[in-house]
Amino acid sequence: MKQFVFAVLIVFWACQAPKNKDAAAMVERIPEVEALLAKMTLEEKVGQMAQVTLDVITVGANQFHSDEPLQLDMDLVRKALVEYHVGSILNTANNRARTVETWHEVISQLQEVATKETRLGIPIIYGVDAIHGTTYTAGATFFPQQIGQAATFNRQLVRKGGEITAYETRASGIPWNFSPVLDMGRDPRFPRMWETFGEDVYLTSQLGIELVKGYEGDNNDISDPTRVAACLKHYLGYSVPVSGKDRTPALIPEIELRERHLPAFKAAIDAGAHSVMVNSGIINGVPVHASYELLTKLLKEELGFTGLVVTDWKDIENLHDRDKVATSQKEAVKLAINAGIDMSMIPYNFDFCNYLVELVNEGEVSISRIDDAVRRILNMKFKLGLFEHPVTHYNDYPLFGSEEFVQAAYQTAVESVTLLKNEGNVLPLKKNARVLVTGPNANSMRALNGGWSYSWQGEKVHEFSQAYATILKAIEDKIGKGSVVFHEGVRYNNDARYWVDEVVDIQATVKAAAGVDYIILALGENSYCEKPGDLHDLSLSENQVALVKALAKTGKPMIMVLNEGRPRIIRTIEPDVKAVLQSYLPGNFGGLAVADILFGEVNPSGKLPYTYPLFVNSLVTYDHKPSEHQARMVGVYDYESDFAIQYPFGFGLSYTTFEYSNLTLSSDKLQKNGKLEISVKVKNTGDMEGKETVLLYTSDLFASVTPDVKRLRGFEKINLKPGEEQTVSFSLTPEDVSFINAQNKRVTEPGEFVVRIAELKAEFTYVE
Ligand code: BGC
């Protein structure tokens, strides 16, 4: 039966996919690399395909732990690099950030052994997750997490963030970054939603390109010592498991995979990204690490990806231990390498090397597959300039942690903050206001930063972020300590597995509100990452709801500042507050950004990169099908199950007002191979300077596959002074309004389309 399903799958893919090319033949032949390859033994080749974590080669090494202060155990280093020829090391030791000096020392020592004590002197490649700044380097510049970056809708800021992160990662001696995340943030239950650019395909594709170019440079010349190699992850369809829990099975039909999940990867590959990390999960019953269809046929052949494909953490072992598709560890290695994996993030032992050598000797894995994998790895090392300069030196990076970088991170944070409600224009507050600041997120740098901040779960943030302002501190700095009363009310229990919170003293908090003009509620989530962030209930915690309900009785105007990685349900308390500010996970400058917006020094300009749900059972995205609106469609009933959300995708208020007019199309027809020019006038009709993101949507009115109600096709962020007007232009091609049809082919079908910008709309017809 198994074989039958496999055969059907192969036939299915062979029929559907465009003509595939020979993946290995497409990989560049670099003479220096070819010369090396020709000299390498099988063991040396296999070693290049192995990656272990730093804790494996440090003094006191024991999986997640090693002794402090960090010191390499040179015997273990030699075992890895000389005996096993290991080609790559990742991660920090002891799950802790290090200074640039320590990084330099550690990586120099490793390169010394790799280049001087091995037969061929091939440098190792070091990789880390520098996903919102250089995660594991003390003093590095931290940006908002990707979900906040998406809310800025600002391509320049995202690119600048990528450039700075690349620079500071290289200042730490590290040339490879496991970023960007191009998974789609389409399910708020997923604990890694905040690592994504949100739910929209176009926004994710556009910002993904910016991060790749920020990391690798305009022409992807990664020999430039201020650039790093990007790693697109987690290919493919990682973020939508059925249960919402990390690394649990997903069911994604090919039509959906190609419509929503593939485009951002394709765009980033076309933008030249050098590496890809594989989805740790299971799609339609097949672990992606064992999927020849997804790794070789789709990624390497159809998309023409010629870079390096690395596994996620321990995921070859997971084929046996967790997913049960391999009866032994050895079979797991065979499945993965034959599926198209080039490098294994093993990361704790060297068994992979032994098994793979045996498999090649037994004819179970071909030497041409090994050569292809090693060529891809060595090509990247060569392009990074590692053969000439195995390690960069922090002294050559004077801008590390500079004021210029801090400004960029602050600007990204402040442009991400999204004003979702402002009843009676309660915001901005006057600086002579007296406020009660409360809630578990009020005085926490950890919550502002989220996971992947100085440590995996973000639990070590307080040790490294002393110099930065929490929301509370930033408000105190702004209006004076004397005008601020602070009562936490509820706090996170940092020792609890699911980062639960507990009541401190709600009654005391209510009492403290007596003398103030406003209550600022800083609510949301503590930091978390991956599996430990799995949730059983998307609702905001009961304790936080209780705090808001108790304070509501005071009748004081309340402002809710959300600081959360995914939209927790706030339906029952939202009516109690006058204003809502979403800050996502804004990083070290988030406190400052929130205070500047609360007190009107900056006009908010963020927009939601996802649909904020109203109910736990109604998780929909903006690009849903028309049938989500059935109750209203028939116009008679008002079914309780009808489309209901808290705030829409793309929503975000300003302290000024913008008026849209003159939506103009260059023609009412879009021809095959043609282009439609679209323009609109936007005017600042209020009295404060402000930034506005102009969003262009299209709707395909009828199609052979039920069309989405609308799709984002363009965005531009502009700045307007009071009274100022600007014309914003977009262009649309037939490809821009295409979709995947029932045969899994990308098509644009003739017919009518509607263009929408704000409340304006116009129509055109696509003709072939
Ligand atoms: C995560 C990846 C990450 C890798 C290396 C895994 O657990 O899923 O996103 O790049 O660890 O740290």
The CATH number covering residue 737 comes to 2.60.40.10
8 A C-beta contact, residue 144 and residue 416: yes
CB atoms near residue 366 (< 10 Å): 13
- What ligand 1 atom has the least distance to the C-alpha of 128? 12
Same domain, 476 and 559: yes
The gap from C-alpha 590 to its chain's centroid, in whole angstroms, comes to 18
Residue 551 burial (10 A CB sphere; 0-12, 13-18, 19+):
buried
The answer on 763 and 681 residing in a single domain is: yes
- Report the alpha-carbon distance of residue 313 to residue 232 in Å, rounded: 15
Mean pLDDT of 350-359: 98
**Residue found under tokens 């009274």:** 723
In a domain, 298, yes or no: yes
Q: What is the DSSP string of 441-485?
A: TTT-HHHHH-SSSSSSSSTTHHHH-TTS--HHHHHHHHH-GGGEE
CB 652, CB 749: distance < 8 Å:
no
CATH number, domain with residue 390: 3.20.20.300
Q: Kindly report the backbone phi and psi dihedral angles of residue 220, in degrees, each rounded to the nearest multiple of 5, phi listed first.
A: 55, 35
* pLDDT greater than 80 at residue 415: yes
C-alpha–C-alpha distance, residues 513 and 490, integer Å: 15
Neighbours of 372 (CB within 10 A): 19
Please check the confidence at residue 535 and state whether its pLDDT lies above 70.
yes
**Domain assignment present for 591:** yes
Residue with more model confidence, 7 or 378: 378
pLDDT value of residue 2: 43
Residues 443 and 376 in one domain: no
> Do residue 421 and residue 392 come from a single domain?
no
The answer to whether position 635 is within a domain reads no
Can you read off the two tokens belonging to residue 595? 């205070």
Among candidate residues 295, 294, 238, 230, the one with its CA nearest the CA of residue 267: 230
CA–CA separation, 465 and 202 (whole Å): 34
pTM (2 d.p.)? 0.96
pLDDT of 21 above 80: no
Q: Report how far ligand 1's centroid is from the alpha carbon of 64 (Å).
A: 14
CB 56 within 8 A of CB 76: yes
Residue 138 lies in a domain: yes
Q: What pLDDT, on a 0 to 100 scale, did the predictor assign at position 637? A: 60
Comparison of pLDDT for 247 and 8, the residue scoring more: 247
| β-sheet bridge partners, residue 415 | none
pLDDT tens digit sequence for 468-482 = 999 999 999 999 999
Q: At what angle do helices 403-416 and 155-171 cross, to 10 degrees?
A: 140
Residue nearest to ligand 1 atom 6, measured at CA: 313
Q: Are residues 513 and 576 in the same domain?
A: yes
- The alpha carbon torsion through 92, 95, 101, 106 (nearest 10 deg) reads -40
Instruction: Please give the order of strands across the beta sheet that includes 484-487.
Output: 418-422, 579-582, 558-563, 518-524, 435-438, 484-487
Length of the chain: 768
> Residue 687: pLDDT above 90?
yes
Average pLDDT over residues 512-540: 96
- Chain mean position to CA 638: 38
Which protein residue has the closest C-alpha to ligand 1 atom 7? 313
Measured by CA distance, the residue closest to atom 2 of ligand 1 is 312
Question: What is the number of domains present in the chain?
Answer: 3
The candidate with the shortest Cα–Cα distance to 139, out of 94, 188, 172, 181, is 172
Q: What is the pLDDT of residue 1?
A: 41
Give the chain's mean pLDDT. Answer: 95
| Distances in whole angstroms, Cα of residue 62 to Cα of each of 177, 311, 366, 460 | 24, 22, 34, 20
764 dihedral zone (left: phi>0; alpha: psi -120 to 50; beta): beta
Cα 209 to averaged position of ligand 1 atoms, centre (Å): 21
In the predicted structure, residue 20 carries a pLDDT above the cut 70: no
Domain finish residue from 554, 588, 613: 613
Report how far residue 250's alpha carbon sits from residue 326's, in angstroms, rounded to the nearest whole number: 19
The CATH number of whichever domain residue 466 belongs to comes to: 3.40.50.1700
Q: Residue 88 — very low, low, confident or very high, per pLDDT cuts 50/70/90?
A: very high
Query: Among residues of the chain, what percentage have pLDDT more than 70?
Result: 95
pLDDT band at 64 (very low <50, low <70, confident <90, very high): confident
Structure tokens at 121: 């002197």
Do 762 and 665 fall within a single domain? yes
Whether residues 567 and 670 fall in one domain: no
**Which DSSP category does 569 fall into?**
B
Task: Let me know if residue 336 belongs to a domain.
Answer: yes
Q: Does 312 qualify as catalytic in the annotation?
A: yes
pLDDT of residue 66: 85
Report CA(524)–ligand 1 centroid distance (Å). Answer: 24
User: How much is the average pLDDT of 315-334?
Assistant: 98
pLDDT digits (tens, 9 = 90+) for 105-154: 999 999 999 999 999 999 999 999 999 999 999 999 999 999 999 999 99
Q: How many CB atoms lie within 10 A of CB 642?
A: 14
What ranges make up the beta strands (E) of 9-139? 50-53, 88-90, 125-128
pLDDT (0 to 100) of residue 641? 66
In contact, 187 and 193? CB cutoff 8 Å: yes
At residue 5, the pLDDT reads 44
Q: Tokens representing 541? A: 């915690």
pLDDT of residue 16: 44
Do residues 596 and 680 both lie within one domain?
no
The residues with which 515 forms a beta bridge, in sequence order, are none
Tell me: pLDDT of 724 over 60: yes
pLDDT at 279: 98
CA–CA separation, 132 vs 428, rounded Å? 29
**Which pLDDT belongs to residue 495?**
75
291 exposed, middle or buried (CB, 10 Å; 0-12, 13-18, 19+)? buried
Residue whose CA is at the smallest distance from ligand 1 atom 5: 313
CB atoms within 10 A of CB 654: 18
Q: Are residues 382 and 235 located together in one domain of the fold?
A: yes
Cβ atoms < 10 Å from Cβ of 100 = 23
Burial class (CB in 10 A: 0-12, 13-18, 19+), 511: middle
Residue 180, preceding bond cis, omega within 30 degrees? yes
Pocket probe for ligand 1: among 313, 314, 315, 348, the residue whose CB has the most ligand atoms within 8 Å is 313
Instruction: Report which secondary-structure segment, H or E, holds 93.
Output: none
Reduced 3-state DSSP string for 248-299 = CCECCCHHHHHHHHHHHHHHHHHCCCCEEEECCCEECCEEHHHCHHHHHHHH
**CA–CA separation, 634 and 238 (whole Å):** 37
In a domain, 226, yes or no: yes
DSSP at 301: I
Give, for ligand 1, the residue of 312, 315, 317, 344 to mutate: max count of ligand atoms closer than 8 Å to Cβ.
312
Q: Judge if 88 and 170 occupy the same domain.
A: yes
- Residue that terminates a domain, selected from 613, 647, 680: 613
pLDDT tens across 570-580, in order?
A: 999 999 999 99
Q: What is the whole-number distance in angstroms between the Cα of residue 171 and the centre of ligand 1?
A: 22
Six-digit token pair at 682? 């936007």
Distance CA 38, CA 43 (A): 13
Higher pLDDT, 61 or 320: 320
User: Rounded to 5, what percent of the chain is helix, strand, coil?
Assistant: 35, 20, 45
What is the band of 15 on the pLDDT scale with cuts at 50, 70, 90? very low
* Residues whose CB is less than 8 angstroms from the CB of residue 657 and which lie 6 or more positions away in sequence, other chains included: 684, 685, 686
The radius of gyration of the chain from alpha carbons, rounded to an integer in Å, stands at 26
Q: Are residues 13 and 161 in the same domain?
A: yes
In this structure, is residue 482 part of a structural domain?
A: yes
The most distant pair of C-alpha atoms in the chain lies apart, rounded to whole Å, by: 80
Q: Which one from 129, 183, 187, 312 is the annotated catalytic residue?
A: 312
pLDDT at 4: 44
Do the beta carbons of residue 157 and residue 197 sit within 8 Å? no
Query: Residues 622-671: pLDDT tens digits?
Result: 999 998 887 666 555 666 667 889 999 999 999 999 999 999 999 999 99
Asked if residue 636 is part of any domain, the answer here is no
Ligand 1: residue of 56, 277, 279, 456 to mutate (most ligand atoms within 8 A of CB) is 277
Which candidate, 528, 379, 562, places its Cα nearest to that of 455?
Answer: 528
Residue found by looking up tokens 């929909």 in the block: 620
Domain around 22 = 2-396
Of the listed ranges 19-28, 387-396, 485-494, the least confidently predicted one is 19-28
Distance CA 655, CA 62 (A): 54
Is the per-residue pLDDT at 43 higher than 70?
yes
Going by the DSSP 8-state scheme, the letter that residue 18 receives in this structure is P
Tokens of 439: 């809630």
Same domain, 597 and 449: yes
- For residue 751, name the pLDDT band (cuts at 50, 70, 90): very high
Residue closest via CA to ligand 1's atom 11 equals: 313
Q: Which atom of ligand 1 is nearest to the CA of 456?
A: 12
Q: What is the mean pLDDT of residues 352-365?
A: 98
Mark residue 95 as left, alpha or beta (left: phi above 0; alpha: psi -120 to 50; beta: remaining). left
Dist CA 223 CA 383 (whole Å): 6
Of 300, 318, 312, nearest to 127 by C-alpha is 312
Helices of type H across 126-261: 146-152, 155-171, 201-216, 254-256
Residues with beta carbon inside 6 Å of ligand 1?
Answer: 91, 129, 178, 233, 277, 280, 312-313, 530
Ligand 1 pocket mutation, candidates 178, 183, 309, 318, criterion most atoms within 8 A of CB:
178
What does the alpha-carbon distance between residue 276 and residue 238 come to, in Å, rounded to a whole number? 13
**What distance in angstroms lies between residue 312's CA and the mean position of ligand 1's atoms?**
6
From 366, 396, 426, the end of a domain falls on 396
